[in-house]
Structure 1
């Protein structure tokens, strides 16, 4: 309803202006906003003060003098404002869960990596532990001493629920630490390569790295032995025929997320090697493997014979076997022994 306004002389009511419904009190959740006022122009202030005391020409002269002074200030060199970049990760999701106790992880039998929704938090936390607590003055994780490894493992165990009696749980932690250690080494090397000269790189240390560690790393990267090893590794990576589109997530986590989108291993292979942007396989080798899997599966006979076990066998048959590594599934899956051994 609306309030009736004042009546005109002839008795006709005014047009209602304000809604008369009661105003609900808003809880004071947000601090009141400060009302800003327009700042007075100092030039106008000068004119207002000067005109009554002197002639118009003198006043204009004074005003022009102040304008010139202000223009001179704008010509002075001003240091550029440093933009805020992306700082170190805070681990907000980790802190939110950790305050209730150790974070649970689901590491299934046959896997050596978590496949649950906390897998990303686990990965991020291990990366943070490496960046903050690891001694980076080693060529790789293999060169890290047993005492240092034990300290890092203890930090991870202190944050997550793990069954340390199971071998695959222990392997999950050690493999994650090794992967993040080597990945951080690679990141630091990329930073080193941004500089044109070795001396510039020495002076361009990242704040997160201690000076003596950065100096040791720079000397190692500048050595002829490292450059030769790096050249060989680069050539070996160029020979890699098959690439995937799974991103940074482990394959065991992708299998958990895809669910019905990848009902069997052959379809999972297609999903993780298909480029949605290009609308085709990531490369010719991936497409060849997929078509060969379908061909071998059709040789199994009827559709009843083409069950999950049959597709898994074809998947491994086409991709082959490698000691200590499940081809097509990554390090998070414990590989089956080769049938030829």
Structure 2
């Protein structure tokens, strides 16, 4: 892991979604931007040796193509967020969506309850020709989390399709493309069950209680932070709050309350000696980017935040020294140029003196 790359997860809502619920869209869910029709663009030819999409192949940059020819795609995971990040992250996410829709079972079961051998086969297809290590718990957690999110998202879209019909019987008679009739029948039974309806109602209620909704789309905050850090930009906990609730479409915070909270955080930053993470604990009562319940302790996150601030301070000092050195070099160059002019003038005067004498 690169220095200063201790990445954190943004807490988008205080209301936990039920695992079997269908309300799954979240700023933390990395999703592929392709739809089900793009499955037709997948190249399954054994002669290619790998499972890939033609659309994706066309969009690979020259650098990535050279890396693919010489080695493997890089499977990187955010240490704290436990999500897939890095230059090749979109490939794994897009490929995961295609493989999931092609091979997973959509019969009402969650990703966790899929057949173990089926899950292993799907993961192998998603991560082939990469540095993914099945013996690394962090990588295993990241790929399972990504595929589970995509599986729930697909079942959510299937539920939207189901709701177009007036009765369960009518919906059962019209299975969507790509879904087996027997699986669709089981899924319809689940959608019509009292338990599922209860979970759906609870999720809708929790969603309405969220006064500051997330504004991030298909790219997770972890990946946005990772990309900006690779550009040399340092992202604090306050920056992550803004990323999670800034609407690119509106070109401002998602609502007035989110804007008020951001202003309060920035005011505290100007008037306090506390770190951005400590300010977030004081104002928000949580650290944006810190996964509640399953990640590292708050103390470790604060230590990491302080380390980042120290590294940033050292970078600024180094930059200032480089600028001073540049000024000194310019002065030295100017001095040397003046010396050349003076020596030339002295030589000219010496020649004149010799001629006069």
Report what 2:258 is aligned to. Answer: 286
Structure showing greater radius of gyration is: 1
Report what 1:88 is aligned to. Answer: 38
Task: Choose the corresponding residue for 1:231, options 182, 201, 209.
Answer: 201
Task: Choose the corresponding residue for 1:320, options 285, 294, 312.
Answer: 285
Deviation, 1:240, is 1.7
Task: Choose the corresponding residue for 1:264, options 236, 240, 254.
Answer: 236
Task: Choose the corresponding residue for 2:276, options 265, 290, 311.
Answer: 311
**8 Å CA contact 1:113, 1:332 repeated in 2:** no
- The structure whose RCO (Cα within 8 Å, separation 6+) is larger is 2
Greater displacement, 327-336 / 197-206: 327-336
After TM superposition, the structure 1 = structure 2 runs for residues 104-119 of structure 1, keeping only pairs within 5 Å, are 104-119=74-89
Whole-angstrom distance in 1 between the partners of 2:109 and 2:149: 13
Whole-angstrom distance in 2 between the partners of 1:140 and 1:86: 19
Q: 1:250/1:271 Cα in 2 relative to 1: closer, same or farther (>3 Å)?
A: closer
Deviation, 1:202, is 1.7
Whole-angstrom distance in 1 between the partners of 2:164 and 2:292: 33
Report what 2:289 is aligned to. Answer: 329
Report what 1:197 is aligned to. Answer: 167
**8 Å CA contact 1:107, 1:115 repeated in 2:** yes
After TM superposition, the structure 1 = structure 2 runs for residues 89-238 of structure 1, keeping only pairs within 5 Å, are 89=39, 90=41, 91-95=53-57, 100=69, 102-238=72-208
Q: TM-score, normalised by structure 2?
A: 0.59
Output the aligned Cα RMSD: 3.1
Whole-angstrom distance in 1 between the partners of 2:173 and 2:290: 38
Q: TM-score, normalised by structure 1?
A: 0.62
**8 Å CA contact 1:250, 1:332 repeated in 2:** no
Q: Whose helix fraction is larger, Structure 1's or Structure 2's?
A: 2
In the alignment, structure 1 segments of 5+ residues that lack a partner are: 1-84, 322-326
**8 Å CA contact 2:106, 2:183 repeated in 1:** yes
Whole-angstrom distance in 2 between the partners of 1:226 and 1:242: 26
Whole-angstrom distance in 1 between the partners of 2:117 and 2:36: 33
Report what 2:220 is aligned to. Answer: 250
Q: What is the CA deviation profile of residues 257-296 of structure 1, one whole-angstrom value per residue up to 9, with x for unaligned ones?
A: 3456774332342243223443432023322331232233
| Secondary structure of 1:112's aligned partner | coil
Whole-angstrom distance in 2 between the partners of 1:209 and 1:170: 27
Report what 1:300 is aligned to. Answer: 272
Report what 2:302 is aligned to. Answer: none
Deviation, 1:209, is 0.4
Whole-angstrom distance in 1 between the partners of 2:252 and 2:127: 42
In the alignment, structure 2 segments of 5+ residues that lack a partner are: 1-34, 42-52, 59-64, 300-357
Whole-angstrom distance in 2 between the partners of 1:135 and 1:110: 30
Deviation, 1:338, is 4.2
Q: How many residues end up aligned between the 2 structures?
A: 243
Report what 1:23 is aligned to. Answer: none
Q: 1:243/1:329 Cα in 2 relative to 1: closer, same or farther (>3 Å)?
A: farther
Whole-angstrom distance in 2 between the partners of 1:152 and 1:123: 13
